[in-house]
Amino acid sequence: MHINNGWLTLAERILSPNIDDRPEGTAIDLLVIHNISLPPNQFGGGHIAELFTNCLNPAADDYFAEICGLKVSAHLLIDRLGAITQFAPFTQRAWHAGVSQFSGRERCNDFSIGIELEGADHIPYTDRQYDVLAAVTKALQTEYPNLQNDKIVGHSDIAPGRKTDPGEAFDWARYKKMLD
């Protein structure tokens, strides 16, 4: 797995309009793991890409009517089968963290990469998702040397009380062991 000009070579590319430039001179040194399912606790259907590209149909589900106006994105989505979709080059800022703080630094979107796992807090992730996430993480760590294992966190770690993902179903020990 390789990165070329901010793009993961094996990922499908769907560019989100919900990205912008990082502050000049900002080093990428944080990886944030998220989960998402649309509608909640349901997988497949392409609705995540629709959300990240501002194309979510509010009439398709009651929940979609609540969130269709959000302007959000992530750098990557890893679906239940391990397929990777990239919505923003790593060199740009994706809008995934919202109000957030890590080690006294606010605005985590400025210096982080956001990876969404198709999932839910209480539903186990697939073996394939762990394999792909570990491979992607290693590629990112090669490309961005400041992105060390102690700079990999969940959304809940940088937005406590506001976010819970990737949730109790995410096996941090398993994932971190795969990075050794």
pLDDT in tens, 21-71: 999 999 999 999 999 999 999 999 999 999 999 999 999 999 999 999 999
The tens digit of pLDDT for each residue in 93-103 reads: 999 999 999 99
pLDDT value at residue 173: 98
User: 116 catalytic, yes or no?
Assistant: yes
The tens digit of pLDDT for each residue in 148-160 reads: 999 999 999 999 9
The tens digit of pLDDT for each residue in 77-90 reads: 999 999 999 999 99
Query: How far are the Cα atoms of 26, 27, 107, 145, 165 from residue 23, in angstroms, in the given order?
Result: 6, 9, 11, 19, 26
Percent of the chain topping pLDDT 70:
100
Whether the model clears a pTM of 0.75, i.e. scores above it, the answer is: yes
Confidence of residue 18 (pLDDT cuts 50, 70, 90): very high
Which structural domain range is residue 171 located in? 3-16+25-37+73-178
Of 24, 66, 116, 143, the catalytic one is: 116
Of 43, 38, 40, nearest to 81 by C-alpha is 43
**Residue 7: CATH number of its domain:** 3.40.80.10
- Dihedral sign for Cα atoms in the order 75, 149, 163, 168: positive
Residue 151 carries which DSSP code? G
> Do the domain assignments include residue 52?
no
> Do the domain assignments include residue 82?
yes
Domain count, the chain: 1
Query: How far are the Cα atoms of 32, 35, 55, 99 from residue 163, in angstroms, in the given order?
Result: 12, 10, 24, 10
